[in-house]
């Protein structure tokens, strides 16, 4: 991971249209390490997955469809129990999505795991303190799903409240507590809001910031690698699976490549990573 992509070649091409100048950036000849948790490899794979999905969604008329962004959580678990927790969540999702009352015609679901941290007085949206550990000394993990949902026609005319989603998710999980659930409507016809939802759904599986310089970093890396081995980070179903197949997404996750890559012409920028300055430096082109 430390030696992943020490040099990058960026190819920048432009296209002049009636709407203005459009720029496209592609990466060439990168030496990826192919470690699943690597920040650079995660970014590269997520970028390719997003490109495939945006292309698949390009011809959709967002004014005729209803979409929502859903976040489903499970109780924080010790790192050595994470795999069991994610299996429980996957089984619960299958149970929930097959119910007759489930108001969804298609979905794009991603898995994300972050390290549980202590809440500091200055924290507002996220906790930034020291890692939390279980009574037996295990680092604590926070598993959750982000799900882009295509809703049934007319769903927002009588939108189900958050309490309904909490009850349904609790029932599917079979847990004795009300899990935290967030759901928000994606504004109809808003390309920007829809695109943000896709970007939120397809980002990283493991947060790069959790691999910091603390004494816990190696422990988290080895533990998360063992727990996530062989698990899929993205799943599609229903109408969205007809636009973008599971096979296509799996190939990118497994190999880092897709079938739609094209060679680009345009300006070539060569960059080298400087460990001392912690920045990319442009080499002579």
Query: According to the model, what pLDDT value does residue 21 have?
Result: 61
For residues 152 and 19, the model is more confident at: 152
Compute how many other C-beta atoms are within 10 angstroms of the C-beta atom of residue 233: 22
Q: Are 85 and 93 in contact (CB under 8 A)?
A: no
pLDDT digits (tens, 9 = 90+) for 129-184: 999 999 999 999 999 999 999 999 999 999 999 999 999 999 999 999 999 999 99
Mean pLDDT of the chain: 88
Q: Is residue 185 a part of any domain in this protein? A: yes
pLDDT at position 283 is 81
Residue 59 located in a structural domain: no
The tally of domains found in the chain comes to 1
Both structure tokens of 118: 């202590």
Q: Name the pTM for this structure.
A: 0.86
> Contact, 140 vs 79, CB < 8 A?
yes
60-75 tens-digit pLDDT? 888 888 999 999 999 9
Query: What would the pLDDT profile of 194-211 be if each residue is shown by its tens digit?
Result: 999 999 999 889 988 888
Query: How far is C-alpha 283 from the chain's CA centre?
Result: 32
| Residues of the domain holding 159 | 70-255
Classify residue 235: in a domain, yes or no. Answer: yes
Return d(Cα 254, Cα 63) in angstroms, integer.
35
Residue at 58 is within a domain: no
263 vs 75 pLDDT, higher one: 75
Residue 22 lies in a domain: no
pLDDT at 2: 81
Structure-token pair, residue 45: 């794979």
Assess if residue 268 is contained within a domain: no
**Residue 249 falls within a domain, yes or no?**
yes
Please tell me the distance from the alpha carbon of residue 165 to that of residue 173, in angstroms, as a whole number.
12
69, β-bridge pairs: 148, 184
- By percentage, how much of the chain surpasses pLDDT 70? 93
> Is position 21 within any domain?
no
């Amino acid at each position: 991971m430390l030696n992943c992509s020490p040099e990058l070649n960026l190819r920048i091409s432009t296209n002049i249209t009636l709407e203005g100048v459009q720029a496209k950036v592609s990466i060439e000849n990168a030496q990826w390490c192919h470690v699943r948790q690597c920040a650079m490899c995660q970014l590269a794979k997520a970028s390719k997955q997003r490109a495939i999905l945006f292309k698949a969604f390009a011809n959709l008329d967002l004014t005729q469809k209803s979409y929502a962004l859903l976040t489903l959580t499970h109780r924080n678990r010790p790192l050595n129990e994470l795999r069991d927790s994610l299996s429980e969540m996957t089984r619960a999702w299958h149970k929930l999505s097959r119910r007759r009352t489930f108001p969804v015609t298609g979905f794009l679901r991603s898995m994300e795991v972050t390290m549980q941290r202590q809440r500091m007085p200055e924290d507002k949206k996220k906790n930034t303190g020291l890692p939390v550990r279980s009574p037996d000394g295990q680092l604590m993990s926070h598993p959750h799903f982000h799900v882009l949902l295509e809703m049934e026609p007319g769903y927002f005319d009588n939108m189900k409240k958050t309490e309904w989603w909490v009850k349904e998710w609790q029932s599917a999980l079979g847990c004795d507590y009300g899990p935290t659930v967030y759901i928000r409507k994606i504004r109809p016809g808003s390309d920007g809001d829809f695109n943000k939802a896709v970007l939120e759904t397809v980002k990283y599986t493991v947060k790069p910031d959790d691999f910091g310089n603390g004494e816990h970093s190696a422990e988290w890396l080895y533990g998360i690698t063992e727990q996530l081995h062989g698990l899929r980070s993205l799943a599609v179903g229903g109408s969205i699976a007809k636009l973008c197949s599971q096979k296509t997404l799996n190939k990118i996750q497994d190999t880092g490549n897709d079938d739609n890559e094209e060679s680009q012409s345009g300006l070539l920028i060569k960059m080298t990573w400087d460990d001392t300055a912690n920045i990319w430096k442009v080499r002579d082109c």
